[in-house]
Amino acid sequence: MSEEKALHAPATTRNRDPILAVLRQVLPQEGLLLEIAAGTGEHAAYFAAAFPDLLWQASDPDPDARSSIAAHAARAALPNLLPPLDLDMEQADWDKTLKAIPDAILAINLLHISPWRATEGLLKGAARLLPFGAPLILYGPFRRKGVATAPSNEAFDASLKARDLRWGLRLLEDVADLAEAQGLTLDRVVEMPANNLTVVFRRASETQSRA
């Protein structure tokens, strides 16, 4: 795979170790992790190396992103880093295309740079896929009721909406309410550098109602 196809995101090197610290607390040591909207693929290569017994399945709906993921995977040459998949959270049945059930799902910087429909698709698909107790991990900037939004996040939100009115920082409580309606329970919210959060949901019991 050509080096020209390997894209780079400067934020990756800044946030990967704080994210990894949380992943070490919540991920299983083995099994299959599904990364949604993996972007450049730099996180996938870095985290797959940190969890050698965990199969890492990156995905992204953008063909350029998938080419970059494949390029970083080729460079890393890790046996547990699988070829990227084409998954689009705006497609209601995206989860039905998977051939294996993941033991965890990770989405980094997805919710604020996609329509709300993608958040709905992610949460509904995760609730259908994940085994009981398995985590769905979300990382990125959020709004929270009763908590002042950092000026840098306010500016970021305005820039996102200028690019696409369907984008923008999500209210954590709205995400949590939708997750709960699908049978996902909020496990923890971890404060991260640069005014970001890592939010962990877990698949609740089968008896919990879903919308």
Which CATH code fits 3-203? Answer: 3.40.50.150
pLDDT mean by block of 10 residues, the chain; 211 residues: 74 93 96 97 97 98 97 96 97 92 98 97 97 97 95 95 95 98 97 96 67 41
Domain ranges of the chain: 3-203
Report the pLDDT value the prediction gives residue 4, as an integer from 0 to 100.
63
Burial degree of 50 (CB within 10 A; 0-12, 13-18, 19+): middle
User: Within 13 A of 50's CA, how many CA atoms are on the CB side?
Assistant: 18
Q: Residue 53: which residues within 8 A CB-CB, separation 6 or more?
A: 29, 30, 80
What predicted TM-score, i.e. pTM, was given to this entire model? 0.94
